[in-house]
Each structure stands twice: as structure tokens, then as C-alpha cells.
Amino acid sequence: MRRGFWLAGSMLAACACAQVAHAANVPTQLPQEARPLHYSIEIIPNAQALTFQGRATIDVNVLRPTRSITLNAADLDITSAGLEGGADAQVRLDAKKQTVTLAFPAALKAGPARLRFTYSGKINEQANGLFALDYKDVDGKPARALFTQFEAPDARRFAPTWDEPNYKATFDLSAVIPTRQLAVSNMPVAARTDRGDGTSLVRFTRTPLMSTYLLFFALGDLERISMQSAGVDIGVVASHGNVEKARYALEAAAKIVPYYNDYFGVPYPLPKLDNVAGPGQSQFFGAMENWGAIFTFESILLIDPRITTPRQKQGIFVTAAHEIAHQWFGNLVTMKWWDDLWLNEGFASWMENKATTHFNPEWQAGLDAVAGRETMMGLDALETTHPVVQRIKTVDEVNQAFDQITYQKGQAVIAMLEGFTGETVWRNGLRRYMKRHAYANTTTEDLWAAVEAAGGKNVRRIANDFTKQPGIPLVRVEDVRCEVGRTVARLTQGEFSADRKSKTDASALRWTVPVVAQTLDSAPVRTTVQGRATVQADGCGPLLVNAGQSGYFRTLYAPAQLAALTAAFAKLPAKDQYGLVTDAVALATADYQPMSAALDLLVAAPAEASPRLLYGLLPIWGDLHGRFNADAAAQAAIAKRVSVQFGPALERLGFVAKANEPMLDSLLRTRLIGTLGAMGDGRVLAEADRLAGLLATDPNALNGPLRQTWLRIMAVNADSARWAQLRTMAQAADSALVKSTLYQLLGAAKDPKLAQAALDLALTDEPGKTTSAALIAQVSVAHPDLAVDFVLANLDKVSRFVDASARNEFIARLAAESRNPAMAAKLAAFADKTMSAEARGAVDQTINALKVRQASEPRILQQTKAWLGGESLSR
Ligand SMILES: [Zn+2]
């Protein structure tokens, strides 16, 4: 998932047996009475009534003589169930546990049996189970398409299932559908029979052994285009009239599949791989890796040249690379239980970066990895963090496990281990792991065993330290000296923390930390730090620790060392420049060093630096600018500083995108305009005014990659006339993608009256069922308190707009930008009242982050102001 897949009978038997042998060690919420081997499921959806009829038979292996069998079911109305050909069993549903128990008239013997169910279920309006997405078709008529979303625990809303990842089985899915519509599932269509009444029965070919959460079904006025790659029928599916917009994603998939075939050493095992576009959005996820039938929301799958930004185009490639990586890591080999979700998500995140770097080296995706690491370290530095491998007991805990620690720390730790073992050993380990565990389930330990068997020495120790313990190591670089042409330095390991800085190095957690260090012109040297170490690098001069940025730790240099690196900044590789700055900013924010050290580095980036670096530095300035909301003079000083540093880049790029320019130039231009515009830059605002004038007479005047950027500036600064103009454009939009983008912009206004108007609009039918939550989230960026109070006052209504799996996290996200001292208590009171202890992780993280910011803000403002004063005098 992104919040970012023929089978012979003999293999089926072999794998199922292996799993039975392991079953005792695997956490489960179901009694060990029987294991499913094969499901046959037939559904008849009634899209208009939002219900469906279902019939299922399940071939099971009864493990011991039993009178009853319990499996998962949620929100299903089971009309009859029993043994195939036998009398009805007594059916008991447990809504809280989401299970159904069949009590049989007589005890079942151990061995094979076939269960039968007749039932009906609900079609939901947010992305859980079988769900509907409404949109206007190309002719402007209301249309509805159906999709499924089962990860983590929602296949049980579609059919009675053993809905846990370790219960792999095969699936035959069939459906009765309107004849003029297209249905898509994991596998190709085996047969389609016209029933002569406007409906057809569609039967899909049998899936391989797989977990329930990967089953998929979609139905609607859909179109598909396809191409062959590496013997696989690669396709994209979108609503009628939109499928050509998915061609970029189609071509990306056709490149990525052979690349992964080679990398994993196991060819993609299904005959086809589709990527299915859904209009609208979810607050929980952007795309889902269903085996053979990836689901992706339109904004990260379709390119509409009238509105798609360069960043969104990159996102389409990266998302495809992520979901396709899951076809191996997650689908072919699956974690036994959600404790090891990071095996899925960390790997897909790491692999997305690897594939993106391979196919688009000019994008400098390595810097994206640094950016991702930063956001996640913000969470991992708080006491509310958790280890990458975590205990998961309840459904609530499963949902909140899909967080940045799981994805991005997982990714960072894997990158570090690859750096430690070397690319070849690492890849050989993964190939071994894929071969050995294909169609089966694993734990993290199985992965380390495979990498060690491939020659990776001491991997387990480092891996355990970083996946079983929470938190971030701090490596202090001290006592640096030049000795006969070599640089020698002392490295000491402590712990980096934002809220427990009183923690001394002696009381810190201990990690075995692989460290790469180098002086500017020499080869990197590698060492591992356990407590303390001495590093020796060839050459004398500034010593860079964590060279290449593959290490998961923060580096705190002695002041003279940092000053030497600052002076040599322009000579460092872009990735190290970015890592050095982000480390320095985080260390200063958490009071390990003065803000001036970070700010000196921030201004050390020359105008001709990598556009990707400048792109990464602008939000750091934007954040500082935002912190001074109550101090116009300081904001003006920052704006002036930014204008001096980044003006030349904007001059070079201009306001208009050039044909075939490098992607990074396009990216940087959007961010320069956005950031400088937000800081009130005269040139940018004048251009925005000019464009607004054009827009008044021609709604298409801004079409192109910068349309969202300019509209956002207009939306942020809107008066009620401008806001009404944007709303009229949103109402008139002719595609779901454009419509949803424009409605979200209405939430960006600085004017509190317009922000309130946007919130009120979110409660109406106008923006569309899945856009309302995004609109509220947009309001929370500038008006967090307004947005939170609004949601608390309209909780029932707003809850309908948010996927069940994301509700607790949603309120936490709205509050994140608040600077109101009362917000933490307000959130806590709400969580106490409405959330179980297992489900409040995201809220507790936000509460903690708010408190830390409250406590550190005065120091940061004071130190930054002092630097701005001194700095402006010296220039
Ligand atoms: Zn994923």
C-alpha cells in the first residue's frame, strides 16, 4: 500500500502443509480449527442500492475433530451456511471480534471439507471492503464505479474468510455485472456469459496462493489499454474517456517489471498486471498492491496536461515502482503477521527509490530518501515512537502500523544494511529469500537468515538494533586532527531525542552503527561504532561523517568541524549537502547546537547548487518564516534573505515552463513560485495578479504544469470575489481529477471567513464524498484550530467522509500545525473519550510533538532573530 503478485495443484498442497507446521508460532485472532485451501466466491453487486449478494464455498482442511468453525466476517448478513450438501449450521456473528462461528449438527472429522455460505453485504462509500466512488463521466452525467480495498482487515466485509495474512489460499472469483461494463480482478477473465437480461456472468481464472488482503474486484464504465513486457500483459484501467491519461504509468510499469524480474531473480508470476484508477481519494492511502490488479487513486496515476504538476508526474512513477515491488515483496512472499508489516512497506519504499534512481537518475531520488528520512526522524525522536518491528494485537493497531516509522525508517534501515553488506551480497540474499519463501509467509528473521547465507556478515546484529529498538543514534564527531596525511577523529554514540534531551550518553540506547566517513578528496572508509570508535580517513581537511547518507543516525560535529564543512559546502555532493543541512537544522531545533550553526549552512548553498537541493531547502525557510507569524519584521528579514539566495534561480528559470526542460528545473520553479509567493515576493505576486486577470476572461488561461501553483497563490490570498471565482471553476470542471484538485484549493485561504466557508462547503454534497475530508485537511494547514473545532462539532457528519481506518489519524493530522497551547489538552480529552488505548498512537504522537514545539519555540525564535540581525548587518 502506498500512503503511499498459475499454480499447479501439487504446489498448493506443499505450501499449505508447510504453513500448518508453522501455524503454532504465528499470532492469530482465530481458533486453530481449520485452514482454508481454496475459495470460490460469486457476487452480484447492486451499485445503486449499495448492497451486494454473495455466495461462497471454501475448501478447508479440518485440523482436528470439531463441532464448530470460526472465521472472519464483518457487516455481512449470512442467510445460510453449512457443509456443502449438508444441513444448515447454526450461525453466530460476533460484531466486535468480526467473526462468524458455524456450529454443526454433528462433529466434523479431521481432513478436507467444503463450507458453503449465502450472504449479503454493504457497498461502502469510503475505501473499506467493496466500495463505490461517484464521479461525473465525460458527458457530465453522474456515474458510479465499484472497487475493493481489503488491507489490512477488510476482505471480511466482502466474504467470510480467514482474513489474516498467514492463511494463504487460492481464489475463484465470479460476478454478475451489467453487460456494458468492465470488471477487473487479480487474474484475467476466464469466461464471460451473456445472461440475456442486460447482465453477464464473468468468471476470472484462479489466483495463485495468496493472502486475503490482496484479493481485488472493480466494476464500472471502465476502459483498459495494455502492452506486453517480459511476457506479461501489462495494463492500465480508467473510467471511460480517461484511460489515455494513464499511458505514462503504463509505460513505467512496462519498464519496471523486467527490472524487478532481474533484481529479485524470480519472474513476475501472474499472466497480467493491471493498474486501476479510482476517482477521488482516501485519507488513508494512495494506492494498493492487489496482486495483478493494483488500485491507484487518479491523482497519482493519471496525467492531465492541464493540471498535473511535475511533482505529481514523479509521484506517478514512484507509486507504480512501490506497488509493483510489492508484487514480490508482500504478495509472493508475505509477512506471517502484521508485526512484520515493515517487511512489506520498508522494502517497497526502498525499492521504489532504487527503481526511480535506475530509470530517472537525473531526478536525484537519493535526496528524496533524505527528505523522507527527515520527516520520519521527527517522529522517531519523540518518546511516543515505536520500533520498526512492533507487537500488533488488534485491528486498530494494524491500521495505525501503516505509519512513517514502518515505511520510511524501514526504508532507511534497509538502505543502511545494503550499504553495509554491499549491493551484490544484499541482492543475492533477496534472491535467495524470494526463491525459498515464494507463495509462503515469513518473519523478519527469515530475511536476515537469507542475507547471511548470501555472505552478509554481522547483519543480524545491526538489523536487530535498528528494528527492535526505537529511536535514533547520535554520533558525536570530536577530537579531529591531522596525523601524517590522515584525518583521525573520535566518534561517540549517544541517542538523539527531541523530548528527552536530559538523557545522557550513558543512559542512551546502544546500537551497532555502521558509519561511512571521508575527507573531501579521499575514498570513503567504513567502521562500526559500538559506544566509541576512532575513525581514520586518508587526507586532511573537513571530515564528512555519514558520507552518502545511507546511515540511520544524526551526526553532531564539534563546532570547528562544522565550520570547516560549511566553508567547503559547495564542494560536497548534493546528497551530502542536503543531509548535512537537515541534520544541522534538526540538531539546532532540538537544542544540541545553536540555530546559527544550521542557518550558516542553510545560506551556504550557492545559487548554482543542484535544483533538487534548492528545492529541499526552500521548505526549511518556509517553516522558519511560518514560525514568525506574529513578527512581521523577522518575516521580512527572512523573505529578503530568501529572495537574495533564491532570486537568481528564479531569474534563470523564469515564470514559464520550457519545452523538454529537465524535470528538476520544472520542480524547482513550482516551489520557488510557491515559497516566494507565500513570503510576499513582489515579482511573484505581480505575476499572480496578472494571471488572475487572464483567468477572469479565460478559465483555461493557466492550463499547464504551473496551474496548481498559481491557483494556490491566488487561493491563499483570495478575497471573497476571487474565492467565488475559484469555486465556479471547480463546479465547471469536466473531470473528477480536475474537480477534486480545485475544490481542495478552496481550503487554502488565509482569510478566516473564507476558511470557515470552505469548512461549511465540505459538509455539503458539492465537493464530492471523498474530497470533503481533503478540503478540511487543507483548511487545517493555515487554520488548525478552526479545522479541529469544526470537526469536533460535526463529528458524525465528518466521520462519513473519512475511511474508518484513518479516522483517529485524521484528527491528529488536522491539529499538527497548531500553535495554540490548549490544543494538546483538547486532543487528549477527545482521545480519552473516543479511542481505545491501542488506537490512539497517532494522536499521542501529535500531542507530544505539539508540546515539544511549544517548549522549544521561544529559544528557536530568539536565536534565529539574533542571527538574522547579525547576518543582515554583515551583508
Ligand atoms: Zn506499500
How many other CB atoms are found less than 10 A from the CB of residue 819?
15
Cβ atoms of 123 and 33 within 8 Å: the answer is no
Mean pLDDT of the chain: 91
Distance of alpha carbon 20 from alpha carbon 377, whole angstroms: 39
Is residue 12 predicted with pLDDT exceeding 90?
no
- Which pLDDT band, with edges at 50, 70 and 90, does 408 fall under? confident
Q: Rounded to the nearest 5°, which phi and psi values hold at 180?
A: -80, -5
Number of H helices, E strands in the chain: 28, 28
Share of the chain above pLDDT 90, in %: 78
DSSP 658: P
What tens digit of pLDDT does each residue of 634-678 get? 999 999 999 999 999 999 999 999 989 999 999 999 999 999 999
Q: Give the distance (Å) from ligand 1 centre to CA of residue 406.
A: 10
Distance of alpha carbon 164 from alpha carbon 158, whole angstroms: 14
Distance of alpha carbon 546 from alpha carbon 556, whole angstroms: 11
Q: How far is CA 384 from CA 213, 410, 471, 846, in A?
A: 29, 17, 10, 9
Is residue 18 predicted with pLDDT exceeding 60?
no
Is residue 494 predicted with pLDDT exceeding 80?
yes
Which grid coordinates are listed for 762? 465540505
Q: Give the distance (Å) from ligand 1 centre to CA of residue 4.
A: 6
Which grid coordinates are listed for 628? 514568525
Distance of alpha carbon 829 from alpha carbon 647, whole angstroms: 46
Is residue 7 predicted with pLDDT exceeding 80?
no
Closest by CA to 617, choosing from 573, 655, 668, 657, is: 668
Find cell 517548549 and name the residue.
855
Instruction: List residues bridging with 350 in a β-sheet.
Output: none
Which grid coordinates are listed for 436? 525459498
Examine residue 47 and say whether the peptide bond preceding it is cis (omega within 30 degrees of 0): no
pLDDT at 616: 96
Is residue 804 predicted with pLDDT exceeding 80?
no
Task: Please enumerate in sequence order all residues whose Cβ is within 8 A of that of 779, keeping only pairs 6 or more positions apart, or say none.
Answer: 747, 755, 758, 759, 762, 786, 787, 790
- Which pLDDT band, with edges at 50, 70 and 90, does 108 fall under? very high
pLDDT at 3: 58
Distance of alpha carbon 172 from alpha carbon 204, whole angstroms: 6
Is residue 400 predicted with pLDDT exceeding 90?
no
Closest by CA to 321, choosing from 258, 402, 390, 366, is: 258
Task: Please enumerate in sequence order all residues whose Cβ is within 8 A of that of 275, keeping only pairs 6 or more positions apart, or say none.
Answer: 235, 236, 237, 246, 249, 250, 253, 294, 295, 296, 301, 320, 323
What tens digit of pLDDT does each residue of 298-319 get? 989 999 999 999 999 999 999 9
Q: Rounded to the nearest 5°, which phi and psi values hold at 3?
A: -85, -15
pLDDT at 1: 66
Is residue 399 predicted with pLDDT exceeding 70?
yes
Q: Give the distance (Å) from ligand 1 centre to CA of residue 345.
A: 5
Task: Please enumerate in sequence order all residues whose Cβ is within 8 A of that of 184, keeping only pairs 6 or more positions apart, or say none.
Answer: 216, 217, 218, 219, 222, 224, 237, 274, 276, 293
- Is 655 in a helix, a strand, or coil? coil
Distance of alpha carbon 628 from alpha carbon 631, whole angstroms: 5
Listed range (237-241, 275-279, 403-407, 510-514) with the worst mean pLDDT: 403-407
Q: Give the distance (Å) from ligand 1 centre to CA of residue 241.
A: 29
pLDDT at 787: 96
pLDDT at 874: 43
Instruction: List residues bridging with 58 in a β-sheet.
Output: 39, 115
Closest by CA to 1, choosing from 420, 291, 322, 422, is: 322
pLDDT at 671: 95
CA dihedral for 836, 841, 843, 849, sign (positive or negative)? positive
Which grid coordinates are listed for 501? 534531551
- How far is residue 524 CA from its own chain's centroid? 32
DSSP 87: P
Q: Give the distance (Å) from ligand 1 centre to CA of residue 177.
A: 30
User: What is the rounded average pLDDT of the residues 802-824?
Assistant: 88
Q: Give the distance (Å) from ligand 1 centre to CA of residue 322.
A: 6
Which grid coordinates are listed for 652? 534563470
- β-pairing, 232-239 vs 272-278, is parallel
pLDDT at 14: 27
- Is 233 in a helix, a strand, or coil? strand
- Return the exposure string of 120-134: e unless at least 16 CB atoms fall within 10 Å of the residue's CB, then b: bbbbbbbbbbbbbbb
Distance of alpha carbon 204 from alpha carbon 185, whole angstroms: 7
Closest by CA to 856, choosing from 504, 592, 590, is: 590
Is residue 20 predicted with pLDDT exceeding 50?
no
Q: Give the distance (Å) from ligand 1 centre to CA of residue 74.
A: 24
Is residue 872 predicted with pLDDT exceeding 70?
no
What's the order of all strands across the beta sheet hosting 90-94?
66-72, 99-108, 90-94
pLDDT at 506: 66
Distance of alpha carbon 672 from alpha carbon 674, whole angstroms: 5
- Of the chain, the end-to-end C-alpha distance in Å amounts to 49
Q: How far is CA 533 from CA 136, 471, 515, 528, 556, in A?
A: 63, 21, 10, 8, 15
For the chain, what is the radius of gyration of the CA atoms? Answer: 28
pLDDT at 13: 27
What tens digit of pLDDT does each residue of 740-796 get? 889 999 999 999 999 999 999 999 999 988 899 999 999 999 999 999 999 999 999
Distance of alpha carbon 536 from alpha carbon 490, whole angstroms: 9
Is residue 24 predicted with pLDDT exceeding 80?
no
Is residue 19 predicted with pLDDT exceeding 70?
no
Instruction: List residues bridging with 36 in a β-sheet.
Output: 60
> Max CA-CA distance within the chain?
90
User: What is the rounded average pLDDT of the residues 93-103?
Assistant: 94
- Which pLDDT band, with edges at 50, 70 and 90, does 21 fall under? very low
pLDDT at 59: 98
Q: Give the distance (Å) from ligand 1 centre to CA of residue 382.
A: 24
Q: Give the distance (Å) from ligand 1 centre to CA of residue 400.
A: 14
Q: Exposed (0-12), middle (13-18) or buried (19+): which is 144, by Cβ within 10 Å?
A: middle
Which grid coordinates are listed for 409? 525508517
Q: How far is CA 668 from CA 304, 357, 674, in A?
A: 20, 18, 10
Distance of alpha carbon 709 from alpha carbon 427, whole angstroms: 41
Q: How far is CA 79 from CA 53, 94, 117, 121, 159, in A?
A: 10, 15, 8, 11, 13
Is residue 500 predicted with pLDDT exceeding 80?
no
Q: Give the DSSP H or E segment for 277.
A: strand 272-278
Q: Give the distance (Å) from ligand 1 centre to CA of residue 326.
A: 7
What tens digit of pLDDT does each residue of 162-209 get? 999 999 999 999 999 999 999 999 999 999 999 999 999 999 999 999
Ligand 1 ion local residues (Cβ < 5 A) = 1-2, 345, 348
Q: Give the distance (Å) from ligand 1 centre to CA of residue 288.
A: 7
Distance of alpha carbon 430 from alpha carbon 573, whole angstroms: 29
Which grid coordinates are listed for 838? 491501542
- Which pLDDT band, with edges at 50, 70 and 90, does 292 fall under? very high
- Which pLDDT band, with edges at 50, 70 and 90, does 249 fall under? very high
CA dihedral 788, 794, 795, 801 (to 10 degrees): -90
Is residue 504 predicted with pLDDT exceeding 80?
no
Q: How far is CA 290 from CA 2, 148, 151, 363, in A?
A: 12, 9, 9, 28
Q: How far is CA 771 from CA 46, 213, 315, 742, in A?
A: 24, 25, 19, 10
Q: Give the distance (Å) from ligand 1 centre to CA of residue 156.
A: 21
pLDDT at 503: 56
pLDDT at 26: 63
- Is 27 in a helix, a strand, or coil? coil
Q: How far is CA 491 from CA 104, 417, 488, 516, in A?
A: 67, 20, 10, 12
Residues identified as active-site: 323
Is residue 285 predicted with pLDDT exceeding 90?
no
Q: Give the distance (Å) from ligand 1 centre to CA of residue 407.
A: 8
Q: Which residue has the higher pLDDT, 809 or 627?
A: 627
